[in-house]
Amino acid sequence: MLTKFTPWRNTSFSSLPLPLEIATKLYVDSTSIKTASSDFGKLFQETPFAVFYPSTVSDIVHLVKSSYTSSSPFKIAARGHGHSIDGQAMAKDGVVVEMTSLSGGIKVSWSDYLGFYADVGGEQLWIDVLRTTLDHGLAPVSWTDYLYLTIGGTLSNAGISGQTFLHGPQISNVHELDVITGKGDFMTCSKNMNSELFYGVLGGLGQFGIITRARIVLDKAPTRVKWVRMIYEDFDIFTKDQEHLISINHGLNYVEGSIIMKKSPANNWRSSFFSILDEEKVNSLASTCGVVYCLEVVKYYDEFSVQPINEELDDIFKDLSFKTGFIFKKDVSYVDFLNRVRIEELKLQCKGLWDVPHPWLNLFVPKSGILEFNQHVFVDIIQKEAKSSGPFLVYPMKRTRWDDRMSATIPDEDEDVFYTIGLLHSARNTEDGKIIDDQNKKILNVCAEIGIEIKQYLPRYYTTKEEWIKHFGAKWSLFEERKAKYDPKLILSPGQRIF
């Protein structure tokens, strides 16, 4: 049974003017505290004083206002699905808000001005948005590779995947937000209403407000996908083909790439794409070469356009330079493609191999530095040291698909294309996780030494204010101003360790 928190029993909270209906939703039982003290990374822990289970958005408003008006404000972190890597959704000695206890729902609508859209509670999972919108023959256009994440969580970062080159990150596909600021103010915002808060919150790492509703762009949903992977032996050719593919108008719907090394299987937890024989073929090539590069693309279609899609793909692929005989094709449903990681997750859960440390490193790398990054990181560090089998992602994005008014930060170089790197490690135990963590820090140091101006995505290795200032660059002054305006007492998202 849960032990309810009564504020007058603890001196830290004894002066808080919490309404009884709010106080009774704070818990200090061991199960709640343990859950709120850990995350997907399994490498970092911070113990909150209490966990808050709101029934309504008003509950969160009252909680934040209570902190803001107190002479001793307490920290508050909104927790979605707990998929952070380094404690970003934790609040040491503060209160963690379990957003998934809300039921904001999902409502599909249409207007002459916006077209089709969905109003979605910030606590909702993207998989549930997909299922609901598909009932209307619709779907969001931009995704993450893993759909069991909350809307508020991904929009506080950016939300990226292989569709980003085409539609931009998830934050570029939002019409409107409901937000609770660090003052406890409930505000609706958009590009035309409270726009400073709107742009600040999108990619704002939870620093200016808690997202309780988002109005998401929808489009007609396909039913099937042609899913293709091609293998390369040369990294330069691999990246040139990737950049070519994202430049084609009316071309592909998804473009990603990955690294396969001799000790990393071609199939991994992102998807068991290859048949047994095809995996053996790819692994054999990787063992011979030491490392090969996998280009992964998708074209959406429906049952009435099978032949035209095949012809379109043949026309696109004729200009590529992948290794002869190393092109592999699948045809799957739209849902199975988008939900591919979940399918593998369930397999790993059955084997006890999912809830392990995940010392991930996610980076944005300028196009001008990607060849050096391959040599100094993928070859000289990842391949030689072999601390983990990945998966390791590398794929390009277009700068023009990102709105610079938003808080999310990408490389400063004035180039049309930059790359995302995902070193998605899994460790057997905490000790191995720390070894990989040290390797991640080494990679960051090497990039600094050779002058590659990277940006961390889902940043977790900044320990000083100076590092955060460098990260945000020209955006820092505005970021700091927005913090002072919307969360002047530094209540929200302490786990990011920015202020």
Residues belonging to the active site: 83, 145, 256
Q: Give the C-alpha separation, 497 to 462, whole Å.
A: 8
Neighbour-count burial of 238, counting CB atoms closer than 10 A to its CB (0-12 exposed, 13-18 middle, 19+ buried)? buried
Residues 6 or more apart whose Cβ sits within 8 Å of residue 190: 175, 176, 177, 198, 215
Nearest Cα neighbor of 256 from 326, 191, 161, 388 is 161
Catalogue the E-assigned strands of 19-114.
26-27, 50-52, 76-79, 95-98, 106-111
> Can you read off the two tokens belonging to residue 39?
């995350």
Please give the distance of CA 233 from its chain centroid, rounded to a whole number.
29
Looking from the CA of 262 toward its CB, the CA atoms found within 13 Å total 10
* Contact status, residue 160 vs residue 397, Cβ threshold 8 Å: yes
How far is it, in rounded angstroms, from Cα 161 to Cα 85?
A: 18
With beta carbons less than 8 A apart as the criterion, state whether 255 and 395 touch.
yes
- Taking CA 157 as the corner, what is the angle to CA 153 and CA 159, rounded to the nearest 5 degrees? 85
Q: Residue 126's beta-bridge partner residues? A: none
